[in-house]
């Protein structure tokens, strides 16, 4: 087989980067097209919010099942199924004839996307032995950094010069190439003791997580006092609490919550929740700030945002080389303090008369700092995770990251809605945006504090590690080394 002749580090990296790129790009590129979609379908722009909400809710439902599905049926098989669903759904979205069809097809996209990232990340971290896992996050820089910044630029080009339908059609060639590459070169992996499918855990986790995600994504626009929002949030949080109690009692839970008992994984997960909240909250706020406050076009806004991707690409290479010398704790703290400082600088310095070199430099600095957190956070989170537990750990990691990102966007959006973006005379009021930057900076400060708790030990070889769901390691526990 071709998979036996190709390094799995290369094969998995190529397939996952292509798949993750289109998945993340799809989230950001659609926002530019929504006003045009509303005009074509004859609906008010506010109704198009369901296009994103449907995707996010479906994503939330299927993330919890991804770990078990990959372990039971094989990570390669589930990865290809998820990518196939996502690619076909992209074609269906491009062919939608009304808003209802588009929302339905976006839900189908979310089902594929919900399984795609956790399973792909599990494949990636299994391909790299523990002492090389710092290299894996550097591979993820291309999709996680370039795709969000490229989305508004590419979306503006396609909507302006072609059609909004092309924001979905661009997924097809990349998805097809990634599928063919994975089929030919990626080896499969199954866990013999995956256990039975935990239906109760799936229903509780899916419904609870979906309820919380829906409330976070719609709370600012509908108002947090709206019964539909706070009841959904309350029910979702209640279902998650019940899920925790149920899963901890089961011998074969779908969600191995005992992974949180591992101190390094637990502290890294806190950073993985708070850091995306500040980072993606800023990336959501910044384009609105430029377009609403300064009157910039979507194309110009996208070009002024893109230096963030360049900063991440450069910073990831630097961070990978500094990791062994300074350790993840210092690099993550540096990254989050840099992001916080960037937020504060944006709050204080941006004005219509300011030279464009200022936002360009600040966005580059944002990406450069955040790359140090991304590389360190993803490498150290799996440092003491065995190959058998990687699928479950990846699922939990991605669920927390999605929750953090949604929380960050919800908070900055709420700040905008509360303070307002226009004065009584109809002029643009920049105070709402500036307080939004302060809120994003707050998340980054909390992430820096959480990063100070990270105390990594030596990477654990899978064959030497006792699973966290089993008996304690006792006197043979690994001693910590300096970070």
Furthest C-alpha separation in the chain: 71
Q: Rounded to an integer, what distance in angstroms lies between the CA atom of residue 133 and that of residue 126?
A: 9
What's the pLDDT tens digit per position in 416-462? 777 765 555 555 667 778 888 888 888 988 988 988 888 765 444 44
Residue 31 CB: number of other CB atoms within 10 A? Answer: 19
Query: Which residues are CB-contacts of 117 (< 8 A; sequence separation ≥ 6)?
Result: 20, 23, 63, 398
The structure's pTM equals 0.76
Q: Are 288 and 479 in contact (CB under 8 A)?
A: no
How high is the mean pLDDT of the chain? 79
Predicted local distance difference test score (pLDDT) of residue 348: 65
What's the pLDDT tens digit per position in 55-79? 877 887 888 888 888 888 888 899 9
Q: Rounded to an integer, what distance in angstroms lies between the CA atom of residue 355 and that of residue 368?
A: 21
Higher pLDDT: 339 or 343? It is: 339
Predicted local distance difference test score (pLDDT) of residue 463: 40
Higher pLDDT: 5 or 380? It is: 380
Instruction: Tally the C-alpha atoms within 13 A of residue 26's C-alpha that lie toward its C-beta.
Output: 32
Q: How many helices (H) and strands (E) does the chain have?
A: 19, 0
Predicted local distance difference test score (pLDDT) of residue 425: 53
Which of these ranges, 84-93, 290-299, 425-434, has the smallest mean pLDDT?
Answer: 425-434
Which of these ranges, 26-30, 48-52, 300-304, 391-395, has the smallest mean pLDDT?
Answer: 48-52
- Is the predicted pLDDT of residue 465 greater than 50, yes or no? no
Residue 483 CB: number of other CB atoms within 10 A? Answer: 15
Predicted local distance difference test score (pLDDT) of residue 179: 92
**Domains 1-197 and 256-483 alike in fold:** yes
Name the token pair of 341: 């400082």
- Is the predicted pLDDT of residue 191 greater than 80, yes or no? no
Q: Scanning the structure block, which residue is given the tokens 């600040």?
A: 362
Domain coordinates of the chain in residue numbers?
Answer: 1-197, 256-483
What three-state secondary structure class fits 163?
coil
Average pLDDT over residues 34-38: 79
Query: Please, is 482 exposed, middle or buried when counting C-beta atoms within 10 Å of its C-beta (0-12, 13-18, 19+)?
Result: exposed
pLDDT band at 46 (very low <50, low <70, confident <90, very high): low
Q: Rounded to an integer, what distance in angstroms lies between the CA atom of residue 110 and that of residue 57?
A: 7
pLDDT band at 88 (very low <50, low <70, confident <90, very high): very high
Which among 411, 319, 427 has a CA at the least distance from the CA of 373? 319
Q: Rounded to an integer, what distance in angstroms lies between the CA atom of residue 256 and that of residue 248?
A: 8
Highest mean pLDDT among 147-156, 301-310, 384-393: 301-310
What's the pLDDT tens digit per position in 204-215? 888 888 888 888
Question: What residues pair up with 381 in beta bridges, in sequence order?
Answer: none
Name the token pair of 33: 């097209």
Predicted local distance difference test score (pLDDT) of residue 410: 81
Predicted local distance difference test score (pLDDT) of residue 207: 87
CATH code linked to domain 256-483: 1.20.1250.20
Question: What residues pair up with 480 in beta bridges, in sequence order?
Answer: 457
Predicted local distance difference test score (pLDDT) of residue 130: 65
Name the token pair of 479: 């001693």
Q: Rounded to an integer, what distance in angstroms lies between the CA atom of residue 214 and that of residue 207?
A: 10
Predicted local distance difference test score (pLDDT) of residue 201: 84
Higher pLDDT: 333 or 54? It is: 333
Name the token pair of 403: 């929750």
Residue 425 CB: number of other CB atoms within 10 A? Answer: 6
Highest mean pLDDT among 39-48, 144-153, 211-220: 211-220
Predicted local distance difference test score (pLDDT) of residue 133: 63
DSSP 188: P
Predicted local distance difference test score (pLDDT) of residue 108: 92
What's the pLDDT tens digit per position in 194-253? 667 888 888 888 888 888 888 887 777 777 888 888 899 899 999 999 988 888 888 777
What's the pLDDT tens digit per position in 96-114? 999 889 989 998 998 998 8
Q: Which CATH architecture has domain 1-197?
A: Up-down Bundle (1.20)
Q: Rounded to an integer, what distance in angstroms lies between the CA atom of residue 101 and that of residue 167?
A: 16
What three-state secondary structure class fits 480?
strand
């Amino acid at each position: 087989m071709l998979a036996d002749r190709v390094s799995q580090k290369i094969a998995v990296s190529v397939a996952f980067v292509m798949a993750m790129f289109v998945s993340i790009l799809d989230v950001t590129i659609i926002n530019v097209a929504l006003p045009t979609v509303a005009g074509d379908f004859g609906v008010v722009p506010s109704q198009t919010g369901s296009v994103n909400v449907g995707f996010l809710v479906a994503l939330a439902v299927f993330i919890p099942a991804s770990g078990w599905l990959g372990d039971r049926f094989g990570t390669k098989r589930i990865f290809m199924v998820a990518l196939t669903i996502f690619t076909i759904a992209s074609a269906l979205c491009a062919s939608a004839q009304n808003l209802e069809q588009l929302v339905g097809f976006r839900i189908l996209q979310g089902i594929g996307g919900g399984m795609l990232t956790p399973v792909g990340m599990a494949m990636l971290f299994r391909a790299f032995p523990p002492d090389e896992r710092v290299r894996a996050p550097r591979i993820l820089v291309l999709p996680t950094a370039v795709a969000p910044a490229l989305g508004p630029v590419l979306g503006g080009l396609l909507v302006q010069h072609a059609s909004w339908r092309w924001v979905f059609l661009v997924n097809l060639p990349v998805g097809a190439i990634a599928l063919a590459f994975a089929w030919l070169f990626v080896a499969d992996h199954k866990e013999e003791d995956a256990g039975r499918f935990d239906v109760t855990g799936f229903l509780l986790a899916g419904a609870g997580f979906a309820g919380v995600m829906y409330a976070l994504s719609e709370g600012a626009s509908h108002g947090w006092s709206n019964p539909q929002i706070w009841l959904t949030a309350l029910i979702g949080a209640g279902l998650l609490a019940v899920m925790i109690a149920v899963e901890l009692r089961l011998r074969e839970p779908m969600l191995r919550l005992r992974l949180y008992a591992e101190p390094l994984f637990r502290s890294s997960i806190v950073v993985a929740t708070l850091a995306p909240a500040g980072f993606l909250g800023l990336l959501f706020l910044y384009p609105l700030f430029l377009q609403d406050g300064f009157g910039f076009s979507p194309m110009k806004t996208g070009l002024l945002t893109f230096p963030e991707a360049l900063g991440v690409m450069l910073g990831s290479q630097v961070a990978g080389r500094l990791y062994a010398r300074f350790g993840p704790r210092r690099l993550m703290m540096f990254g989050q303090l840099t992001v916080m400082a960037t937020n504060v600088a944006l709050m204080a310095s941006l004005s219509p008369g300011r030279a464009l070199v200022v936002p360009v430099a600040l966005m580059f600095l944002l990406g450069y700092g955040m790359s140090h957190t991304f590389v360190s956070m993803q490498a150290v989170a799996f440092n003491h995770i065995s190959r058998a537990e990687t699928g479950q750990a990846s699922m939990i990691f991605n669920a927390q990251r999605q929750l953090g990102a949604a929380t960050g966007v919800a908070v900055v959006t709420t700040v905008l809605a509360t303070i307002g973006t226009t004065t009584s005379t109809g002029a643009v009021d920049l105070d709402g945006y500036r307080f939004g930057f302060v809120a994003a900076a707050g998340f980054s400060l909390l992430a820096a504090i959480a990063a100070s708790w990270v105390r990594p030990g030596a990477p654990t070889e899978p064959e030497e590690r006792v699973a966290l769901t089993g008996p304690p390691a006792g006197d043979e526990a690994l001693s910590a080394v300096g970070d």
